[in-house]
Structures are given as structure tokens and as C-alpha cells.
Amino acid sequence: MPTYPPEPFRIKVTETIRLIPPEERKAKLKDAGYNVFTLKAEDIFIDLLTDSGTGAMSQDQWAAIMRGDESYAGARSFHRLKAAVEDIFGFKYFVPTHQGRAAENILSACMVKPGQYIPSNMHFDTTDANIRARGGRPTNLIIDEAFDPANPHPFKGNMDIGKLRDFIQKVGVEKIPFGMITVTNNAGGGQPVSMENIRAVAAVYREFKIPFFIDSARFAENAYFIKLREPGYGNRTVIEIAREMFGLADGMTMSAKKDAIVNIGGLLCLNDEVLFQQIKNELILREGFPTYGGLAGRDLDAMAVGLYGGLDEIYLAYRLAQTAYLVFRLNEVGIPTIQPAGGHAVYLDAAHVFPHIPQSEFPGQALAVELYLEGGIRGSEIGSVMFAHPDPDSGKMVYPKLELYRLAIPRRTYTQSHMDYVAECAGKIKARADKVKGYRFTYAPDLLRHFTARFEPL
Ligand SMILES: Cc1ncc(COP(=O)(O)O)c(C=O)c1O
């Protein structure tokens, strides 16, 4: 069993959670169109829908909130955030945004034209959708090992350098306004990217003069994985590793709701002055003045402090161990998960739990329903509900390679006994898996359909 270090914090404020009775869970789910996103939070017992904005802020962050300067322009809060952003990421320019997708929207608005391609290891859903919304084509070029859930490759988030080079040569540099990489790779199991890979990706982009942006939502977890797993990095501090990563890129987008442990916030950083002017104009149109970018001054201060809190190595050791512990407990009850354990979440292999449910009937969605019915637990489907889409050329349905169900662990929020409870409930579902049926849509929007779709059981 992996070691689970005692939580490196004590609890100063509590929030009551309750498990409502099974008949009520059944009725609430039916009312919600079997979409767990539509449930009321008060009807959830353990909420592992996302690690985004759901972490517990530290007392230092709450204290920083009281220092928030709410001036419209040039607030002290902005300058405190600027100092932290420059220190950690080192880009020449940045704007705050209200969250990660706002940074993606602005970057896409300024750079993506219809028919252009944006390569990455794997785009997350909001990045994918923001590129598509501008007529672009997000392209995932991850290593093949990422599609084998049992493969224990230490850096399964790596981009396939050969595929990247071939892709650039095939579509032509003029059709690629920028390239990306996501650290860690949320859509593919929260798996890290090695420094060696980031360096190689940066070299290819540089060779073809393609600007390189890192989707940095979980940069600190990725940096800690590099420290743990990559030869030569064991004695480097996480902040040094982060600085080296960002030194290889031309810019980054970031949802600060993850590794900056804030409830709301994002960043868009870059080195190109001309693009920065365009970005500021777009930001003013959509988010707000460039020194607050859709956030309150207090949010900027919480982010400035949280960026360092998320890099604390004792916290990171506990954080990754908690995830590894849940993976171990789930595997123990016979639920296969993506291996090895990733950073922020555990990815259950829904296709293996329900081998009798085809992709078109959404095995991950079936697991979402069962875990709520069994134990009031909420996670999210990362499979065909989220990613199946008609091919823009042929119109034929394209299904993702993996049908996953994600249990994302909010930072510093749940304890070891909560993790044990989740594993026990999953074990009960495994025991009756052959009786579970699939689902079909009764409503689905064109983009980001998992948020608002409605279903009925088959
Ligand atoms: C890798 C990655 N990029 C971007 C985003 C979008 O960030 P936000 O939810 O703050 O808009 C997320 C959110 O989950 C993410 O995991």
C-alpha cells in the first residue's frame, strides 16, 4: 500500500456534508436528467466532480483577501500578483482572467483563424471548444502509451515528437498559429509531461517558428512529478523546475483554480509585445481592465499567495500520495484505473467496469449515475459524452479512445476516510456491474455538451 502522509494541515473551519437517503438520490437524479452537473451541491455527499476552484484556501490566502485593493486600475493587488507571476513564470507580459477558459478564449480570438490547427499533447475540453468555436481544429498528438490505461509509463502526458513533426510537415506551418502542451494532461489521466519532452516539443516549435503556449493549470503537480521521476531533477526545488519549464515556452494559459488553489482566477502570459497589445484590447472587451481581468482585487491577492502555496513541497508530497492511495484502494476492490496514479484525479476505466455497454451508450455516464446512487458521490464522465463529435469532413461520429470516469480530488478538502468510503462504494458497484445499463441523450448542445446534456436510461 502506498504511504499516506498525515494531512499537513489542521482544520480550522468546517462545512457540513450529508448523505441523503437512497430513494431521494434516485428521485433527484431523475429530475436532473441523469446529469450529475445538474444536481444541487447540497444533495451530494462527497463531491469529486472537479478539483477546479474547490480547494480549501490557506489562512494566508484568507488574510490576503482582506488586503484586496479594489481600485479599478493599477491596484496594489495587481502588482502583488505581478511580482509572483514574474518570479515563478518569468514571461514578459501577463493579464489576469476570470478563469482558464477566458485566457483560452482571448488567445483563440487573437490567433485562431478558420481551418487552422492547434497541436497539443491533448487539449482539455474548454481549450478544444474555444479553438473549435473560432473554426480551428484542435489536434492531439500524445504518445501511444497514453491510450493504454495499464501502461505504467512515468510520463504518459508526453507529446509524440515524431507525430508532431510529421503533422507540421503535413498541414504546413502557415496553418499552425501556435502550438500547446497541457501539464499535467487532464483529459488523459492527469499524467505528467517530462522536462525532456517539453524541451523537445519547444525545439520543434522553435525550428518551425511556431509560438509555444503551455496550458499550466497543474504546473506545480507536473513539476513535482518531474522531481520525483525524472533523472537529474531529484535535488532541484519545484519552483526551479517550474521556472525551467516556462523558460522553454513563449507563453501560457492557466486556470488558477487548480494549482494556485483559489476559487476563481486565471492567467494569460506571453513574451510577444504586439500580441500582448491585441490581448489587452480583447481582454477589455470581454473581461475587464488589464489590471483586474474580470476578478476582484481580493481574488488577485488570493492568487498571488496561492501560487506559492501550490508549490510547497510538503503539500505536494501529501497531495500526490492521496491520489495514489485512492488508486490503490480502487484497484484493490477490482476497479481498473489509469496507471500510474496521476496528480489531481483518479480515472476509472469505465469501459472495463461495464464491458457490455458500447461507447454510443456512454459507460462513463453509467458509472456517474451508479456512484451517486450508491454513495452520494459525484465525479465526471471523460469519455464519449464529453468528446465524441462528428468529423468536420465526413460527418461520421468520432469516438475517443478511452471511456473514463474521473474522480477529481479537491485540494486540502477531503481526508483519508473519505477516500476509503469512495473505494467501498465503487467496490459495491463492481459487484453488480453486469446489471447496469447505458444511457441516451434526450438533449445535447453542440459544444461542451456534458455540462447541460440530459439523458434517459436505456
Ligand atoms: C488542463 C485544463 N485547462 C484548462 C481548463 C479550463 O479552466 P477553467 O475551468 O478555469 O476555465 C481546465 C479546467 O478544468 C483544465 O483542467
What does each C-alpha distance from 88 to 74, 79, 183, 253 come to in angstroms? 21, 14, 15, 14
Judge if the beta carbon of residue 259 lies within 6 A of ligand 1: no
What does each C-alpha distance from 170 to 178, 197, 257, 280, 432 come to in angstroms? 16, 21, 36, 33, 48
pLDDT at 373: 98
For residue 398, give its domain range: 22-51+312-457
Mutate to test the pocket of ligand 1, among 51, 118, 124 (most ligand atoms within 8 A of CB): 124
Judge if the beta carbon of residue 99 lies within 6 A of ligand 1: yes
Residue 306 C-alpha cell reads as 496561492
pLDDT at 447: 78
Residue 34, SS3?
A: coil
pLDDT at 87: 98
Judge if the beta carbon of residue 128 lies within 6 A of ligand 1: no
Same domain, residue pair 170 and 273:
yes
At position 203, the amino acid (one-letter code) is A
- Distance between CA atoms of 290 and 267, rounded to whole angstroms? 11
- Distance between CA atoms of 26 and 186, rounded to whole angstroms? 30
Query: Residue 329 domain-assigned?
Result: yes
Q: What would the pLDDT profile of 124-155 be if each residue is shown by its tens digit?
A: 989 999 999 999 999 999 999 998 989 999 99
Question: Is 34 in the active site?
Answer: no
pLDDT at 113: 98
pLDDT at 241: 98
CATH of residue 366's domain is: 3.90.1150.10
Residue 258 and residue 218 in contact, taking contact as beta carbons nearer than 8 Å: yes
Which residue ranges in the chain fall short of pLDDT 70?
none
pLDDT at 446: 82
pLDDT at 298: 98
- The last residue of one of the domains, among 265, 281, 309, is 309
Query: Residue 4 domain-assigned?
Result: no
Residue 137 and residue 120 in contact, taking contact as beta carbons nearer than 8 Å: no
Same domain, residue pair 221 and 368:
no
Same domain, residue pair 105 and 178:
yes
Same domain, residue pair 31 and 72:
no
pLDDT at 401: 86
Give me the number of domains the chain comprises. 2
Residue 179, SS3?
A: strand
What residue's CA is closest to ligand 1, atom 8?
100
DSSP tag of 383: S
- Distance between CA atoms of 188 and 347, rounded to whole angstroms? 9
**Which helix (H) or strand (E) is 101 found in, with range?**
helix 100-111
Same domain, residue pair 45 and 102:
no
